[in-house]
Amino acid sequence: MKTVLIRDTDSEFIIGKIVCVGRNYLEHINELGNQLPSEPVIFMKPASSVIKNGETVFIPSFSNDCHYEAELAVLIGTDCKNISEADALSHIAGYGVAIDMTLRDVQDGQKKKGLPWDVAKGFDTACPLSDFVSVASVQNPQELTVQFFLNGEERQNCSTGYMIFSVAKLISYISTIFTLEEGDIILTGTPSGVGKVVPGDQMEAIVTGVGAIKAVVSN
Ligand code: MG
């Protein structure tokens, strides 16, 4: 079983479900030519896809177009269902950084056929995930900066203030579908600037004031 730590504490959480949000930043929707959603686009990654800082993303042999997507990750600390937006943040244990690795060619094929995205999003090593910081160390989750560096060159840089659906709104909405449980993680979507990685690439995603996750790419 995969676990996550809250830095500088004894708190360790067994990772439950990883609920991911697609299309949550307007400029990213535009760069992929997608429609603006009227409610959050939700998909999941299995906990088995998680790797830790410094580990390797292995691109599956059936893809030739693996993309990075840097995202703010939210760790749920207490169970909730049908929670209001006003109460949503009280269920967070901490914040972290994730890279939502995506097999864009596989995903595009699945989209065209109306098929689910599990293969494109859930393969082994598809979720590099940092340690978390405690919820108390983040004043406002909509005032953070998400950055991504490919081989040291900045590719993504955007405030979480540009999310279409805020962290509180996402937790509230997701909790109407799935009971959110201790150890569940929400990936809150990526800003614009996504792109392809190839074997040998070095990736680093940073959320200022939260942390960073580095991973290398291999085939
Ligand atoms: Mg994503």
Model confidence at 6, pLDDT cuts 50, 70, 90, reads very high
What letter does residue 200 receive in the DSSP assignment?
T
Q: What is the 194 CA–ligand 1 centroid distance (Å)?
A: 9
Confidence at residue 24, expressed as pLDDT on a 0 to 100 scale = 95
Confidence at residue 112, expressed as pLDDT on a 0 to 100 scale = 96
> Model pTM greater than 0.85?
yes
In DSSP terms, which residues pair with 4 in a beta bridge? 13
Q: What is the 188 CA–ligand 1 centroid distance (Å)?
A: 7
pLDDT digits 0-9 by tens, 97-126:
999 999 999 999 999 999 999 999 999 999
Where exactly are the structural domains of the chain? 3-218
Residues 68/203, Cβ–Cβ less than 8 Å? yes
Neighbours of ion ligand 1 (CB under 5 A): 69, 100, 190
Residues 128/203, Cβ–Cβ less than 8 Å? yes
Q: What is the 21 CA–ligand 1 centroid distance (Å)?
A: 6
DSSP string, 85-128: HHHHGGGEEEEEEEE--EEHHHHHHHHHHT---HHHHHSTT-EE
Was domain 3-218 assigned CATH 3.90.850.10? yes
